[in-house]
Structure 1
Amino acid sequence: MVTQLPIKRIYDPKTKKIKKRIVFAENENGKGNLGSYQNKITVKIKMTGINFESDFHEDARVVIPGKGMVVKLHSIPPNLESVFEFNSKRKYLVFPYTTCKLENRHIENTCECNLLYGKDIDGGLQEFMDVPYELLIPVPENISLHDGCFVTDILVPFYSNINKVNVNYKTLILLNDILKEMNEILIILKHFNIQQSSFVFLDSSMVLNHASSYSSRFHTVFCFNKSLSKFAEFSCISTGKTLTKSVYNIFANFPIVAQSSDKTYHSMIPTYQDKIACVKVLEILSQLNTEQKEVLSSSNSPTLPIAKQVSQTNSSSSSSPTLISPPIPRFAWIWHEKDYDLVNFEDLDVDSTPKHKRTYQTIDDMNRLIKSSTLSRICYINRKTNKKSNLLLKV
């Protein structure tokens, strides 16, 4: 007897709310074009990270949300077996910035538009999905999966753009919350051996109290807080002369419109071309974990950005003695708030009481976070269902 039905969580940008939809197997028959999946691999989503402050776009399609996705391989089509090795245990990051060509979305050969999972294409708040193999990045074993989920929020954009300016000039970093996000900036500064003395960090609460003192003080402004876009303009040096355009710069990780002709405006919104930067950032985090391990075993060690150790256990169900390798130490460098189970089914057994290893969120809980418009990073972990259900491979 079927006691559970699969569900989708769909974000509607018109209502700015997530809605639940029950998916019936008979409605999926014949759906999709097999040819469109020839260059895609079916993956099982292990963890999805959602930033409720920035991941829900006004110009989004009606889609399943979720930009940050760590996955395992589920199946590879025969035509890709020679170019992509199947490893069911290895974890991959799905680089969320893709193109219409990779997704087989447009027929025109000249079209190369950029697309984003969780905005233009169904994202990771589900159990299975098909992704182009080109988007899969192996996650180093000593990296926290939580860090993988949020690596494209600040780390990748800042890594890709910091070397475009003279960092010896006064530089302003505008964040949503300094205590929660500054570590991501410090990681990149450490990697490039950039001194922090020329950098000033501010968030909304600090700007509110001291805005006037920062007028036209900075050569470069990196803005990761959309609500401070006007302050970014206010704090960047303004000469009124077009000759200074290359000297004064404003960078933003959201769409920004040029307000004057005496400075240069840069978009930090990643594209598929930034996949290389993402690979490099993961290597940086892996190296930091190696260094942090040495820090723990030595009193004479260099100062590193703040890290939080992530618990990890190894277990074996075998009754016979087995050789178990020591656990790989993982450290979380990127702040996130909490983990929740992702329940991908509607329970029809009203008398049953679900026993979740972790807590889980209702759709109302998610919508309250969307409405709050405050920085809140949540990780959703797919868990198995033990009951008989009509769950589909793809929903």
Structure 2
Amino acid sequence: MKQSIKRIGTGLLALSLVTASPNPMSFEPTTVSAATQTKVFNKASTVKAGAYRAAKVLKHVKQGEAATVLQVKGSWTKIQVGNVTGWVAGSDLSDKAATVTKVFNKDTSIQAGAFRAAKVVRSVKQGEAASVLEVKGSWTKVKVGTVQGWVAGSSLSDEMAEAYEAVEEFVLKAGRYQAAPIVANVPAGAKLERVAVHGSWSEVVYNGKRGFVANWIIRKALSEGKRIAPSQMFQSTMAHPFEQGKKPFKFGDIGGVEGLESHVWDGNDFSTSFIIEQFKTEAGRDGAAINALTAHLYDGSVSPAKAKHYQGAVRSYSLDFGEIIYGADTIESVQFAEQMNRLYDEFGVHIKKHLPDDHPEVIGTFLIGSDEFDYNFFNGVLYIYFYQ
């Protein structure tokens, strides 16, 4: 009888403990309500319909995108992004966005608002770096230098890796200032990757070492080019992206022949200009010509300071012509520019030698690889020809 009472007493004690314990058999995680707050995604993620991995994906979100926190359940957080409400891993959210740097994968414009018709506040080049401030749908708010604004998110990449080479020997720096610690000594012609542009500095990787170098010391690694057909000269010239400030070529009647013309400088008595022609020889061969009207820049007709300025402007077109004929970033385009500038030097010496008389005609040929170009100095003009 005593044993029975003892067993009953033990059972009552156990029952009382079970009754006193709130929801003792429940293994659901504790749900904690979060005060309404905004967080940002510290990585690209997905918003799901439920607080478990296999739940249906409702929306893909980008790093830096903002979300309103509605509820926290263990390691999962219920949020609202735009008009979508769902669950994400809490570890994907941060109180404040870490500084995210991206680079532009094309030339584009920073705008004052997140819509196409918004005012343009700055133009940026491919490869320039930007700090990401906010993501709103397909638009991203960025900071470039001191300018803030919006760009299409598709114009940004995590990093660009473009093949570049050293124009001359330089010291790779750990920072974007001259006194920065040295990372490596880089020889002339060394191959490297440019991953971002920060104003006048480029961020590069050389032999696995990352650092900074002034933009002018490096250039895109050159590839081999192929000369266009003379009959493509007009088309290639019109399609060429001349730098801002250079006057575009326009079709016109030039001495009874249709051609393209661009004026570098129109003075009171003189005009510095280029003329592009396409023609057929008497034998029926296609030909093309570049005509540079520049004699007055060498014969004392204008002041030395003005002559020097416009000689530089004229020479800056030489690489443009090389790229028109051979394509951008090619070995041949650079070689053509070097040959054309050499001819300007010879042209200037020739004109000064025969002042004040008219200078006699000079005829010659130069080669780019196996491609032949004819030239002559005549009547104050430098002519360069090539044929099919």
Q: State the TM-score bracket (shorter-chain normalisation).
A: under 0.3
Structure with more of its chain in helix, by fraction:
1
Structure with more of its chain in strand, by fraction:
2
Give the TM-score taking structure 1 as reference length: 0.20
> Relative contact order (C-alpha < 8 Å, sep 6+): which is higher?
1
Give the TM-score taking structure 2 as reference length: 0.21
If you compute each CA radius of gyration, which structure gives the higher value, 1 or 2? Answer: 2
